[in-house]
Amino acid sequence: MTAGFDYREAGTAGATSSVALSHLSVELAHLFPEDLAEDALTRYFARVTPWVETTAALARSRAAKARISTCVLVVDHADGSGRPRDVIPRIQEAAKHSGFAVDYLARESALTGGPAREVFDHIVPEPHPGTTGVRPLLDANGWLCTGKRSPTAGGAPAMSGAEWQPPVQTGARHAIFIDAELRDSADGSWSVTLLRAVWQLLRLGLLRPADARLTAPEPVGTLPETWPELPPVVRLTERPGPLCAYQSFSVLPSRFLEVEVAADLIMSMVRLAPEVDDQVVRRAGMEGITLPAEPQDRISHAFLATDPP
């Protein structure tokens, strides 16, 4: 009996905002400064082309008028990232050389503020069976794991009989223990794994950040001298499918494999407003599409072997 009181979790009240949704979002690249040289971009996009064509064909086989968009994520906050007015035309030209276009370009630094904080604050770690869940808060340790790590005997006296114990993954018969860094304990910066989770959730239409330009990108306009002058996500083509989509596909170099595994782990423990996911699932259903229950299962990847020198 609540005597007329209505208890709700803070932040869940109010109407759920809506975003435009494609059938498929194809991420062509996550570009660090060392990837931005013209010859490196041209070689990379040439290798990406078969994946783009195959994935687009699969999407069209499921929906004759499939809405498909392409995007790249640029690490704009690192030394050597260059000027947007130089870098963006270089990316566009390299893609065009391989026969496709980049519809959207996003700045990674735009994910580091409110969106990263929102995802971090909605992580609900899964306690390992037999434990009390007493582990330092995420804000204190900045790490998220899949189970119980191997206890260290580093402080035990020699010949004390302390035995090594294996790590254990929660709920798995054969454990693959992962301890993923979320933020740097020294300077508090967000890890690349958390930012990848933010980016994937954003593309799946499950994050509705306060800055609506992240989900409704603006046309690029005149290219500025510096990255902060550029909107967080810009539209580079005339009428592409929406940035957000029911499902996403990322083509990445193999060096991102572990990062994406850790990002999947993070997403599996993020509990965002259920109304948002319900809205996306319902709209997909109205188009005859049944989405997997878990957001991370709506993401596909292709990992490219290391580019030969």
- List pLDDT tens digits, range 100-109: 999 999 999 9
Would strands 68-74 and 22-31 be described as parallel, antiparallel, or unpaired? parallel
Taking Cα atoms as reference points, which of 38, 44, 52 lies closest to residue 100?
Answer: 52
Task: State the Cα–Cα distance between residues 228 and 84, nearest whole angstrom.
Answer: 10
- List pLDDT tens digits, range 139-160: 666 677 777 766 665 555 666 6
Would you list the DSSP string of 231-276?
Answer: -SEEE-SSSPPPSSEEEEEEEEEGGGHHHHHHHHHHHHTB---HHH
Task: State the Cα–Cα distance between residues 45 and 36, nearest whole angstrom.
Answer: 12
List beta partners, residue 147. 169
The pLDDT confidence band at residue 235, using thresholds 50, 70 and 90, is: very high
* Percentage of the chain lying above the pLDDT 90 cut: 65
The pLDDT confidence band at residue 7, using thresholds 50, 70 and 90, is: very low
- What pLDDT does residue 165 have? 74
- List pLDDT tens digits, range 269-291: 899 889 999 999 999 999 999 99
Give the mean model confidence (pLDDT) for residues 282-308: 92
Contact between 250 and 29 (Cβ < 8 Å): no
Task: State the Cα–Cα distance between residues 46 and 42, nearest whole angstrom.
Answer: 6
Better pLDDT: 26 or 16? 26
Show me where the domains of the chain are located: 22-110+191-254+272-304
- List pLDDT tens digits, range 88-121: 999 999 999 999 999 999 999 999 989 999 999 9
Task: State the Cα–Cα distance between residues 21 and 243, nearest whole angstrom.
Answer: 7
- What pLDDT does residue 138 have? 62
Contact between 244 and 264 (Cβ < 8 Å): no
Contact between 191 and 182 (Cβ < 8 Å): yes
- List pLDDT tens digits, range 27-50: 999 999 999 999 999 999 999 999
* Percentage of the chain lying above the pLDDT 70 cut: 83
Q: Is 16 helix (H, G, I), strand (E, B) or coil?
A: coil
Task: State the Cα–Cα distance between residues 124 and 277, nearest whole angstrom.
Answer: 17
Largest CA distance in the chain: 71
What radius of gyration, in Å, describes the C-alpha atoms of the chain? Answer: 21
Reported pTM: 0.85
